[in-house]
Amino acid sequence: MKKTVIAISRQVGSGGRTIGRKTAEKLGYACYDRELIAQIAKDSGFTDTEILEMADDSPRKTKLGYMLTEGRDIYGMTLSDHLWQSQIRVIRRLADQGPCVLVGRCADYLLHDRENCLKVFIHAGDDVRKKRLIEVHGDDPKNIDRELKNMDRRRRVHYELYTAQDWGDADNYDLCLDSGRLGIEKCADLIAEAVHRS
Amino acid sequence: MKKTVIAISRQVGSGGRTIGRKTAEKLGYACYDRELIAQIAKDSGFTDTEILEMADDSPRKTKLGYMLTEGRDIYGMTLSDHLWQSQIRVIRRLADQGPCVLVGRCADYLLHDRENCLKVFIHAGDDVRKKRLIEVHGDDPKNIDRELKNMDRRRRVHYELYTAQDWGDADNYDLCLDSGRLGIEKCADLIAEAVHRS
């Protein structure tokens, strides 16, 4: 069955967001990345962007982060749990609307039962990712080792908490690509190629 | 750098051997799979094929298996350790000789420092693999659940023992493909495509 939905998970600094956008351009698909946050905000009623950014796999940890995981409502649900419910609704709705590329937000897991969804994982070596975070994202070289470690840990913990799957386990994906070894442009080409051939 | 050596690791029943052969045909590369065993036999001086098959990630476990891991020489090395040494020599030599596809035998790990080596992992869902083992390899459907579990465990344990890496972790490979979802032919196409673009 033709893969009309591409769900991309990515390691911090692997260029997964750029690869998603390039893939969408090549295929003529819509691309949802940061746009997902706006949609989740609308669905959930939360409007604080910082909270929303943090509620998924955002790399930054601030005091606000605790609000998401500490306070519980009468059903025992945290803010983070509520946002997860919105995330499920938004991602499934977008996947129903038409051909698209979805970056992050555990879309691979949320759509794993859809035959038309190609699940992709983008990763790269630590040195490649540090370089990208410094040069492209403007991160501070002095703290980059600690930062990368923290960001990896947070993203993994969030994914494993909500999906009960191992982060980065090839079994969870149709296609895993090392963007450091293959190159950003080539990763997008290979994903598009996998779709063309599906 | 052009990828002139393709090292393919594969789950039991994922069709990795067939994908290796098809990839080699598409690229005009040599393909070493069972031929590796003959070369390791020559290097090591061992001639019992059953022992050699078992010394890597062979799915079958018989009494002979214990010979490989129980007896130790004066240096504390088992037969399995000696065969591992031969395996290192043979695989590195073949990779030096010219463009080739190497299937199994931890070649991905043994060549991980080579810039010209494309490391590939082929996997598939349990149902797909059971079907293939029954239909293509003639395995007994009655025992297939237990057999697959045993074969997976043995392959994983061997890989992790000698490489100290997690079996099936996307980080260890340049490219991971689900042959059940993408199809055997398409996997070979994508590997060849990754090489052409490298």
**What pLDDT, on a 0 to 100 scale, did the predictor assign at position B198?**
62
Q: Is the pLDDT of residue A66 over 60?
A: no
**Which residues, other chains included, contact B43 with Cβ-Cβ below 8 Å and sequence gap of 6+?**
B86, B89, B90
Burial class (CB in 10 A: 0-12, 13-18, 19+), B58: buried
Asked if residue B61 lies in contact with residue B69, where contact means CB atoms within 8 angstroms, the answer is no
How far from each other are the two terminal CA atoms of chain B, in whole angstroms?
A: 6
- Report the percent of chain A where pLDDT is more than 90: 55
Q: Taking CB atoms and an 8 Å limit, are A197 and B178 in contact across chains?
A: no
| Residue B58 pLDDT | 45
Answer yes or no: do B178 and A177 touch at CB < 8 A.
Answer: no
pLDDT at A61: 46
pLDDT confidence of residue A37? 75
Q: What pLDDT, on a 0 to 100 scale, did the predictor assign at position A47?
A: 65
Helices vs. strands in chain A: H and E counts, helices first:
10, 5
**pLDDT, position A69:** 60
Mean pLDDT of A60-88: 67
Give the burial class of B95: count Cβ atoms within 10 A of its Cβ; 0-12 exposed, 13-18 middle, 19 or more buried: buried
Any idea what DSSP says for residue A116?
T
pLDDT in tens, B53-111: 655 554 344 455 555 566 666 777 777 777 888 888 889 999 999 999 999 888 999 99
What are B17-47's pLDDT values in tens digits?
Answer: 999 999 999 999 999 987 777 777 777 777 6
Pairwise CA distance, residues A161 & A79, whole Å: 15
pLDDT band at B116 (very low <50, low <70, confident <90, very high): very high
Would you call B112 helix, strand, or coil by DSSP? coil
Give the per-residue pLDDT at B70: 60
> Which pLDDT score is estimated for A52?
61
- Which stretches of chain A sit within 8 Å of chain B by CB? 121, 123, 168-171, 173-178, 181-182, 186, 189-190, 193-194, 197-198
Distance CA A123, CA A118 (A): 16
Q: What is the pLDDT of residue A59?
A: 39
SS (H, E, C) B38-76: HHHHHHHCCCCHHHHHHCCCCCCCCCHHHHHHHCECCCC
Mean pLDDT of A83-109: 90
Pairing of strands B175-178, A175-178: antiparallel
Mean pLDDT of B162-174: 91
Q: Which of A53-57, B4-8, B119-123 shows the lowest mean pLDDT across its residues?
A: A53-57
Residues A175, B174: C-beta atoms closer than 8 Å:
no
Backbone φ and ψ of B118, nearest 5° = -95, 120
Q: So what's the pLDDT on residue B71?
A: 65
How many C-alpha atoms does B166 have within 13 Å on its Cβ side? 10
Contacts of A176 in chain B (CB under 8 A): 121, 170, 173, 175-176
> Would you state the pLDDT for residue A80?
75
User: B101 — phi, psi (to 5°)?
Assistant: -110, 125
Q: Nearest CA of chain A to the CA of B129: how many Å?
A: 13
Whether the CB-CB separation of B92 and B111 falls below 8 Å is answered with: yes
Interface test with B, best of A12, A169, A191 (most B CBs within 10 A): A169
Q: Which of A161, A169, A189 is nearest to A123 (CA)?
A: A169
Pairwise CA distance, residues A14 & A182, whole Å: 11
- Integer angstrom CA distances of residue B131 from A21, A62, B13: 37, 50, 8
A36-40, A111-115, B164-168 — which is least confidently predicted? A36-40
